[in-house]
Amino acid sequence: MLPELTAPELHARLQNADDLQLIDVRQPEEYAYCRIEGSVLIPLGELAQRAGEIDPDRPTVLICHHGVRSMQALAYLQHRHELTNLLNLRGGIHAWSVQVDPSVAIY
């Protein structure tokens, strides 16, 4: 089982000012439409070339629309780059919109 956290758990950690890196693996048009404040866009298709942008010393939360692409990204980064600091946002930006911040657009 790959490590996950829920939208409310992520919200609590952000409220506590935990030093988290937020990586959004959606497409640029999805990211432009809605995103979690402070997240950085690295589309899934660019992850292999841009994996070096992920700080191995900070907890990193991977985000997508519903949590599927981000789980693929997490599995890839664990397997190919041996990163152990990764968490998947269960339910993705959709869960964030529904459970934490209704001002973030749903699509």
* pLDDT the model gives residue 2: 82
Considering the domain boundaries, does residue 106 fall inside one? no
pLDDT in tens, 14-64: 999 999 999 999 999 999 999 999 999 999 999 999 999 999 999 999 999
pLDDT at 64: 98
Q: Binning pLDDT at 50, 70 and 90, where does residue 69 land?
A: very high
Q: Is residue 46 part of a domain?
A: yes
* 11 inside domain: yes
Contacts of 1 (CB under 8 A, 6+ apart): none
48 in Cβ contact with 24 (< 8 Å): no
Domain CATH code at residue 16: 3.40.250.10
Domain containing 59 equals: 4-100
pLDDT for residue 86: 97
Based on the residue annotation, tell me whether 64 is a catalytic residue of this protein: yes
Closest CA to 86 of 6, 20, 8, 36: 20
Per the structure, how many domains does the chain have? 1
Catalytic residue among 7, 25, 34, 64: 64
Structural domain contains residue 105: no
Percent of the chain with pLDDT over 70: 99
Question: What span, in angstroms and rounded, lies between the C-alpha atoms of 107 and 100?
Answer: 16
Mean pLDDT of the chain: 97
Q: Which two tokens stand for residue 24?
A: 């959004």
Which residue reads 């404040």 in tokens? 37
- The answer to the question of residue 48 being in a domain is yes
10 domain-assigned: yes
